[in-house]
C-alpha cells in the first residue's frame, strides 16, 4: 500500500529556467513554491516568481546550490514537504537523496537505490545486460594487461573503442583501428584515465561509426506502472553538450519506437524506477540500438516530449510524489506532430562559443502559434558568470517536421536578445544546412561541420550602411546631450517619409 500525502509546500533546489519550470507546475497544482538562491541570483526570475525565497550562500555553486545539507535544513525550517532538484547540481546525487529521506523530506524523483545503481558506468552496464537491455558489445571488466586488451579486441573485431571505466566527457577514450595501434592507445588511455578520474581502469567496446543519440522518456508511479513516452532525437551536440533536440526522431519508425520503449521500460524496471527518467541509447545506422546511460531526473529537453504528447511531466512528477497513480493519459501515448527545441546559451558563436555573461539590454521572445519558451531570464537582468550558461529554451511545434522547421525559422526571426551574445545564430545557420533539414544527423555532425567551417553564421553584408547610420545618429545625440543642446522637435514628417516611400518603390534602400 503506497502512502498518499498531499504536498503543501515544495522547495526548488535549483536556479534558472528549470526552477521557473518547476514553480509553474507547483502553481498549476496550487502548491506553494519556495526557492533557494545564491547572492548572484537575488534578482533572478525564479526568485521573483516564487512564493518564498531563501538565501543559501555566495555565488560559487559549491558554496550555494551544491550545499545539500544546508538545503535540507532550509526545507525543514520552512516546513516544506518536498524538494525538487531540477537537473544538474544535486539532481543525481544519491547522498543528497538519502539525506532528504533521513530528514523525512520527499525528494521529487526516483528512489535513492535507482539513482545509485545508474550512477556507475560499469555497474549500470552489468545491470542492463542482466535485464536483457542491449549494451554496446564489449567487456564490462577492466583490462589489466595489453595481452588481455589484444585478446578482447580480436574477439570484438576492429575498429574498437577504449574507454575509461570511470569516464565521461570523452576523457580516456581512444579509437583503435588496427591491432598495431592498440598497445600505444592502451597506455595513453590508461594514463589519461588516471590523470582525469584517479582510476586507470579501461575497457573495450565495439566502435560505432557516426551513431545517433536517441533517448526514451519513461515515467512511472509507486503502484508499479511504468510507461514509455517515446523518443527524443538529441544527436546535435557540441563537445558532448546537446544543443538541439526533437521528437519524434527522423530515424525512428513506429516499430523501432515500440522496441526501444520496451527496452527502456525494462531498464527502468531493473532498478525499481518511478517518477520521470530518461534512458539514453546510441542508434546505429543499421537500426541496432545500445544502452548508453540512464538519467535519473527530469531532463533539459523534456518539453519536446510534452509538446508531442500533450502531457505535463513535471506535474506528473508531483502527483507521483504524492503517491498518486500515473494519470491515464500517460498510457499508450503516441507522438502527434513534431517538436524541436533549441538551447539558448549565453555563448558567443562568433568567438568560438566563449561565455558571454552580462546585462540583458533587450529581450523579446517569439510568440504565436506553436511556440513555447522556457526561459529563466528577463530584460534588465545580469547573467552571472558563475553557472551553466543556459538562458532558456525555445520550443516549436508543427504538424510535421517541415512545418516545425519553418516555425523555428520564424521564431528565431522574432527573437531578440541584446547586450549579451547567444547561440541563436547557430540555429539560423543550422536551418540553412541541407543535412539538418533532411534529418541526417549523428553525434559528431555538429562538431565536424563547425570544425570544417560548413555552418555559415548570419552576418550583416559588408559594405552595408545600416550600422554606420545607426552609430552616427547615436553619437550625434550623445554629443548633443553632452553639449546640453535641446533636441529639435517639429512636424515636417510627412514630406520626407513620403519621398522615402518613393525610394522604397525603386528597390533596395541600402548601398
Partner 1 sequence: MELIVTVGERQERVRVERDGAGWTVRVGAAAYRVDQQALGPHHRSLLVAGEQHEVVVLPRGEGRYWVSSRRGGALVAVTDVLSHLAAVAAGGAARRSQRVTAYMPGRVVAVLAAEGEEVAAGQGIVVLEAMKMENEIRTEHAGVLRKIAVTEGQAVEGGDLLFELE
Question: Where in the sequence numbering do the catalytic residues fall?
Answer: 297
57 near 80, Cβ under 8 Å? no
Q: Does residue 490 interact with partner 1 by CB under 8 A?
A: yes
Q: What is the dihedral of CA 282, 288, 294, 298, to 10 degrees?
A: 70
How many whole angstroms from its chain centre is CA 33? 23
Q: Which stretch binds partner 1 (CB under 8 A): 22-30, 244-252, 365-373, 496-504?
A: 496-504
Whose Cβ is closer to partner 1: residue 327's or residue 358's?
358
In the 8-state DSSP scheme, what is residue 41? G
344 near 391, Cβ under 8 Å? yes
Q: Does residue 385 interact with partner 1 by CB under 8 A?
A: yes
3-class secondary structure for 174-241?
EEECCHHHHHHHHHHHHHHHHHHHCCCCEEEEECCCCCEEEEEEEEECCCCCEEEEEEEEEEEEECCE
- Shortest Å distance, C-beta 308 to partner 1: 30
- Shortest Å distance, C-beta 341 to partner 1: 21
- Shortest Å distance, C-beta 258 to partner 1: 40
Q: Which member of 413, 432, 448, 454 binds partner 1 (CB under 8 A)?
A: 413
Whose Cβ is closer to partner 1: residue 76's or residue 464's?
464
Q: Which member of 135, 346, 377, 395 binds partner 1 (CB under 8 A)?
A: 346
Q: Does residue 2 interact with partner 1 by CB under 8 A?
A: no
Q: Does residue 416 interact with partner 1 by CB under 8 A?
A: yes
Q: Does residue 386 interact with partner 1 by CB under 8 A?
A: yes
Q: Does residue 145 interact with partner 1 by CB under 8 A?
A: no
Which H/E stretch holds residue 127?
helix 121-130
* 287: its cell numbers: 537500426
- Shortest Å distance, C-beta 33 to partner 1: 27
Whose Cβ is closer to partner 1: residue 285's or residue 479's?
479
Q: Which member of 144, 154, 329, 362 binds partner 1 (CB under 8 A)?
A: 362
Q: Which stretch binds partner 1 (CB under 8 A): 24-32, 296-304, 382-390, 443-451?
A: 382-390
Q: 431 Cβ partners below 8 Å, 6+ apart?
A: 405, 408, 409, 412, 437
Whose Cβ is closer to partner 1: residue 151's or residue 466's?
466
Q: What is the x/- site pattern for partner 1, positions 304-343, by CB under 8 A? A: ----------------------------------------
DSSP states along 330-374: GTT----SEEEEEEEESEEGGGTTEE--EE--EEE---STTEEEE
The 10 Å Cβ neighbour count of residue 306 is 22
- CA–CA distance, 40 with 56 (Å, rounded to integer): 11
Which H/E stretch holds residue 482?
helix 466-483
Residue ranges of the alpha helices (H) in 144-178? 146-156
Which residues in this chain contact partner 1 in the complex, by CB under 8 A?
346-347, 351, 354-358, 361-362, 385-389, 413, 416, 418-419, 425, 457-463, 465-476, 478-479, 488-493, 495-497, 499-504, 509-511
Amino acid at each position: 500500500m503506497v502512502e498518499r500525502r498531499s504536498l503543501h509546500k515544495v522547495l526548488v533546489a535549483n536556479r534558472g529556467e528549470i526552477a521557473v519550470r518547476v514553480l509553474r507546475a507547483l502553481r498549476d497544482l496550487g502548491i506553494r513554491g519556495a526557492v533557494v538562491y545564491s547572492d548572484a541570483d537575488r534578482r533572478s526570475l525564479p526568485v521573483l516568481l516564487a512564493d518564498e525565497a531563501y538565501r543559501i550562500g555566495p555565488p560559487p555553486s559549491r558554496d550555494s546550490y551544491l550545499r545539500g545539507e544546508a538545503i535540507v535544513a532550509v526545507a525543514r525550517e520552512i516546513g516544506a514537504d518536498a524538494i525538487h532538484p531540477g537537473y544538474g547540481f544535486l539532481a543525481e546525487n544519491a547522498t543528497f537523496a538519502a539525506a532528504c529521506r533521513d530528514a523525512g523530506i520527499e525528494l521529487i524523483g526516483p528512489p535513492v537505490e535507482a539513482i545509485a545503481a545508474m550512477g556507475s558506468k560499469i555497474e549500470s552496464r552489468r545491470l542492463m545486460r542482466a535485464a536483457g537491455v542491449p549494451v554496446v558489445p564489449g567487456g564490462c571488466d577492466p583490462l589489466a594487461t595489453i595481452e588481455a586488451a589484444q585478446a578482447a579486441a580480436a574477439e570484438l573485431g576492429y575498429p574498437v573503442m577504449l574507454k575509461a571505466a570511470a569516464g565521461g566527457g570523452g576523457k580516456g577514450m581512444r579509437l583503435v583501428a588496427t591491432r598495431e595501434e592498440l598497445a600505444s592507445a592502451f597506455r595513453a588511455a590508461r594514463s589519461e584515465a588516471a590523470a582525469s578520474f584517479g582510476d586507470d581502469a579501461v575497457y573495450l567496446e565495439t566502435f560505432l561509426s557516426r551513431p545517433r543519440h536517441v533517448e526514451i522518456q519513461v515515467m512511472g508511479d509507486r503502484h508499479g506502472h511504468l510507461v514509455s513516452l517515446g523518443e527524443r532525437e538529441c544527436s546535435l551536440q557540441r563537445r558532448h553538450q546537446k544543443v538541439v533536440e526533437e521528437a519524434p526522431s527522423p530515424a525512428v519508425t513506429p516499430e523501432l519506437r515500440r522496441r526501444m520503449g520496451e527496452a527502456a521500460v525494462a531498464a527502468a524496471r531493473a532498478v525499481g524506477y518511478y517518477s520521470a527518467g530518461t534512458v539514453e541509447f546510441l542508434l546505429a545506422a543499421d537500426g541496432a540500438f545500445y544502452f548508453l546511460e540512464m538519467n535519473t531526473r527530469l531532463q533539459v529537453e523534456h518539453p519536446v516530449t510534452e509538446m508531442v504528447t500533450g502531457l505535463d511531466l513535471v506535474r506528473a512528477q508531483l502527483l507521483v510524489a504524492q503517491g498518486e497513480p500515473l494519470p491515464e493519459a500517460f498510457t499508450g501515448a503516441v507522438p502527434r506532430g513534431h517538436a524541436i527545441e533549441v538551447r539558448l546559451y549565453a555563448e558567443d558563436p562568433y568567438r568560438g562559443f566563449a561565455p558571454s555573461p552580462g546585462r540583458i539590454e533587450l529581450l523579446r521572445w517569439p510568440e504565436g502559434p506553436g511556440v513555447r519558451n522556457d526561459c529563466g531570464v528577463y530584460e534588465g537582468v545580469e547573467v552571472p558568470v558563475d553557472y551553466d550558461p543556459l538562458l532558456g529554451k525555445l520550443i516549436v511545434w508543427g504538424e510535421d517536421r517541415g512545418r516545425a522547421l519553418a516555425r523555428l525559422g520564424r521564431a528565431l526571426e522574432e527573437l531578440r536578445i541584446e547586450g549579451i551574445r547567444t547561440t541563436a545564430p547557430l540555429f539560423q545557420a543550422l536551418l540553412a544546412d541541407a543535412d539538418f533539414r533532411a534529418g541526417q544527423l549523428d553525434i559528431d555532425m555538429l562538431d565536424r561541420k563547425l570544425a570544417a567551417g560548413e555552418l555559415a553564421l548570419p552576418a550583416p553584408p559588408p559594405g552595408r550602411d545600416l550600422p554606420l547610420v545607426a552609430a552616427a545618429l547615436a553619437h550625434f545625440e550623445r554629443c548633443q546631450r553632452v553639449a546640453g543642446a535641446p533636441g529639435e522637435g517639429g512636424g515636417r514628417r510627412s514630406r520626407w517619409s513620403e519621398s522615402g516611400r518613393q525610394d522604397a518603390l525603386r528597390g533596395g534602400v541600402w548601398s
